[in-house]
Structure 1
Amino acid sequence: MDRVPLVAVGRNAQNAAGGTQRCGACRSGGGVPFGFTMAFQPIIDILTGKIWAYEALVRGAGGEGAQTVLDRVSADMIYAFDQACRVRAVEMAGALFVPGGDIKLSINFMPNAVYEPNACIRATLAAAARVGFDKRNLMFEFTENERMQDVAHVRRIIAAYRAQGFTTAIDDFGAGYAGLGLLAELHPDVIKLDMMLIRGIDTSAVKRSIVAAVVALGADLGIEPLAEGIETPGELATLRALGVRLCQGYLFAKPETGALPPVAAWGS
């Protein structure tokens, strides 16, 4: 599982950039001075045995890891890079996904890279129209690496995305600042359970209790839990017993650069 979001620049970068630069990056769809591509990792619905989504993960032009790319993103590049990543992911999905299907494309983003939700989605929608990708199959995951300073802004993003028909998700739930307070404020469609909660859950009564409580909470709130970082059959069997339907991890497939990886047999 790739632990690095597409955009990993803090709010100081946002404050340093001007509105003209932000909107210019949105209109142009990006344009960054280095090459990059995407890897894709499947998310499986273990009840049906079908692929529910693919997560797009940034990679270097030669397949280098995400951090190699992110280290080249300067503060004045945050908006252009965010836009370029979204467009690249959609264009590649348009070429790789089966036309007319319902498999989702999950794209990571940082809320600080969204200046105005409806303006900053224009390049993504234009790319989807170009390649014939149904916008209703877009899912946006957001991660906060520092305490969220403007929850109202993120609520506006989620409301705007929901109005467009997108799915929204909180990534790394149960780690760092992505906790119950954020869930209460934002109410996304999906919560991605952090891999540290999943790793060894079959041998940890404490982790099983925590995940069971989150699953029950999600059922009450209409929020779907998604377990990431699954590596062993024991972890998968435990998650199935706890009522988790959506699963992602090396047990199914590793991310593959520029392609959709084959899904390993896992006992569906």
Structure 2
Amino acid sequence: MQFPANIKQQTCSDCLSGQDLGFQIRMAFQPIIDWREKSIIAYEALVRGPNGEGAGWVFQHINDDNKYYFDQACRVKAIETAARLGCKTFLNINFLPNAVYNPETCIKATIEAADTYGFDLTKLIFEVTEGEQIPDKAHLNRIFQSYAKRGFQTAIDDYGSGYATLDWLIELKPHILKLDMQLIRNIDKNPAKQFIVERTIEQCELQGTRVLAEGIETKEELEYLTSVGIRFLQGYYFARPELEKLARLAEIQGLN
């Protein structure tokens, strides 16, 4: 795995300014629901462009030369914005494992950001998406282990849509597994999807990994997922991501 030769130690101001990207980034937040407690347990930080452009627009501007700076900038911006908005729950931050050349070095800007903006480090959850090609499972395992030693929680995002299999789940042992929306869509009427999800739940229970279903859009999907014991939920059914805003509990749909 190779990284640009000009990588330097980042400070919060470097990453927050976006100067190494050539454009500003902002953050939208989508709540994650604890169905049992009928509460908001976390917010996922989702990158947006300077005028609120979607993640697709942002990633069109990311390449091998600025991937490292982008990963660092997203972490810092997520923490800075969440702290400014008064976030007291867990904060889910997506990261690019292929942009992490050394877990111990690359976490420094994150720790500095939390200290600078007064955000509780123990409330950070790092998500790795299945959408990124990860040729080196051992490298990702080192990242997960390093983060766990520091007290951070880790999550595999978009499970069921990309590289990860039960073997990955067993070896990486994330704290949280997020079921991809493609598995969730119309799951109430799809026995094949139900089989995959229920088998995955069984393995997660064996190893102590919490299951989170994302991309929920209908009452029927919600009813099936809660019937098989999934407690943590996310999706448009409850709330859409909002730019630089944390949805309040009273604004969440479908909790009654």
Q: Tell me, yes or no, whether TM beats 0.5.
A: yes
Asked if residue 265 in structure 1 is aligned to residue 253 in structure 2, the reply is yes
Identical aligned pairs, as a percentage?
Answer: 47
Asked if residue 51 in structure 1 is aligned to residue 36 in structure 2, the reply is no
**How much does 1:248 deviate?**
0.2
Segments of 5+ residues of structure 1 without an aligned counterpart are 1-13
1:86 counterpart residue number? 75
**How much does 1:23 deviate?**
3.8
Give the SS at the match of 2:7: helix
Please say which of residues 174-183 and 161-170 is displaced more in the overlay.
Answer: 174-183
String of CA shifts for 1:11-31, please: whole Å, max 9, x gaps. xxx62522xx33434784363
Segments of 5+ residues of structure 2 without an aligned counterpart are none
Supply the RMSD in Å over aligned alpha carbons.
Answer: 1.7
1:58 maps to a residue whose letter is V
Counterparts in 2 of 1:154 and 1:16: CA distance versus 1, 3 Å:
closer
Conserved in 2, the CA contact under 8 Å of 1:211 and 1:242?
Answer: no
Distance 1:170 1:163 in 2: 17
- Which of 46, 63, 68 aligns to 2:57? It is 68
- Which of 158, 163, 170 aligns to 2:144? It is 158
1:22 counterpart residue number? 7
Asked if residue 214 in structure 1 is aligned to residue 203 in structure 2, the reply is no
2:161 maps to a residue whose letter is A
Distance 1:144 1:251 in 2: 23
Conserved in 2, the CA contact under 8 Å of 1:117 and 1:157?
Answer: yes
Give the SS at the match of 1:165: coil
Query: How many residues matched?
Result: 250
1:176 counterpart residue number? 162
Structure 2 matches for 1:1-268, cutoff 5 A?
A: 15=2, 17-18=4-5, 21-25=6-10, 28-29=14-15, 31=19, 32-98=21-87, 101=88, 103-145=89-131, 147-262=133-248, 263-268=251-256
Distance 1:222 1:111 in 2: 23
1:84 maps to a residue whose letter is A
Distance 2:61 2:134 in 1: 24
Q: TM-score, normalised by structure 2?
A: 0.92
Give the SS at the match of 1:43: strand
Q: TM-score, normalised by structure 1?
A: 0.88
Conserved in 1, the CA contact under 8 Å of 2:126 and 2:153?
Answer: yes
**How much does 1:73 deviate?**
1.9
1:8 counterpart residue number? none
